[in-house]
Amino acid sequence: MSELEQAHVSPQLKWSDYVFICLLCINLIGVILLGRNIYIQGDKLEQARKNAELVVAWADGVDEDMDAGKPISPPKCTPATDKDLKTAKFQLNTWGECITSLFGLKGKFPEITNTFMKDGLIYAKKCDREHLESKGALVFERLQTGPTGSPVVSELKDTDVLLSGMEFRINLCDRGFRLIKIGEAKL
């Protein structure tokens, strides 16, 4: 090595340089891993949204089928019209029966599962941080017109009778246990 070359040799790396390089690598790996995790969660949310959109589309179809006088699938989700209510023989369907037949093994949407957790709920009464299984679940809320004319949101109970024109909102419980509105439908 010539004298000139020797004069231009970069100084040796010190231990602090190695610490810095290690920190850089750890940071990059950490960000990539966390980013990957968020991406996977985002992807699951995307899939859950698509599932929820299927339910919204089904609910919109019920309204159209009712207008066209076609049978509703599943039959347990057939809402009662004013005419039906006057008929003593008409079997009133409840929300609990409808939702069970929708997501049951032989229901309308057997392919829909909780995308966030294998054993998670497909649908839940509310999005609750204290009930971890509600993460990724569909949450249905009843929409009613309040005294001032603005919509009032209330819990859709299993015992609620399905009535024609009943409005409800379909939400999704995301990974942070927050409700994401997917759509509104009318039976």
Partner 1 sequence: MSSAPLSDGQKHRSIRRLVYDLLFNKDNPDGYSSVFEKTIIIIILVNVAALLAETIPIIYDSRERQFHWFDVVSVAIFTVEYLLRLYVAPEDPDFNQDKLPRLRFIRSPFAIIDLVAILPFYLAALFNLDLRALRVLRLLRLFKLLRAVYPAMVEFRERNRDKTLRQKVYAIVNETPDSGKLHEIFDFIIVLWVLISVTCVILESVESINYYFHVEFIVIDTIAVAIFSTEFLMRIYSCTENPKYQHWLAGRINFSRQFSSLIDILAIAPFFLESLLDHLFDLRFLRVFRLMRLFKLGRYSAATKSLFYVIQREWPVMKASIFIMLMLVMLAACLGYLFEHEAQPDKFENIPQSIYWAVITLASVGYGDISPVTPAGRAITIVLALLGIGIFAIPAAILSSAFSDQLRIERETMKQELYEMLGDGKISPEERIIIDAEAKRLHLSKAEVDRLLEKAKIELGLIAHPDAIGHTHQELHHTYGHHESHRPAMDLNYLSKHPEAAGEQFKILLAQLQQLAHSVDHERLNQYLSDKKHATDFQMETWEYIAKQTKKEP
Site string for partner 1, 113-152 (x = CB under 8 A): ----------------x-----x-----------------
Give one DSSP letter per residue of 116-129, joined into a string: S-TTS-SEESS--T
Among 45, 56, 117, 143, binds partner 1 (CB under 8 A): 45
b/e string for 13-31 if b means 16 or more Cβ within 10 A? Answer: eeeeeeeeeeeeeeeeeee
User: Among the residues of the chain, which ranges form H helices?
Assistant: 3-7, 15-68, 82-86, 95-103
- Measured from the CB atom, the residue of 37 and 144 that comes closer to partner 1 is 37
Among 2, 14, 68, 159, binds partner 1 (CB under 8 A): 14
- Measured from the CB atom, the residue of 103 and 116 that comes closer to partner 1 is 116
> Distance from first CA to last CA of the chain, Å, rounded?
86
34 is a site residue for partner 1 (CB under 8 A):
yes
Place of tokens 């939702």: 99
Nearest approach in angstroms of CB 175 to partner 1 is 7
50 is a site residue for partner 1 (CB under 8 A):
no
Nearest-angstrom CA–CA distance, 88 and 5: 103
Q: Which residues bind partner 1 (CB under 8 A)?
A: 7-8, 10-11, 13-14, 16-17, 20, 23-24, 27-28, 31-32, 34-35, 37-39, 42-43, 45-46, 49, 129, 135, 175-178
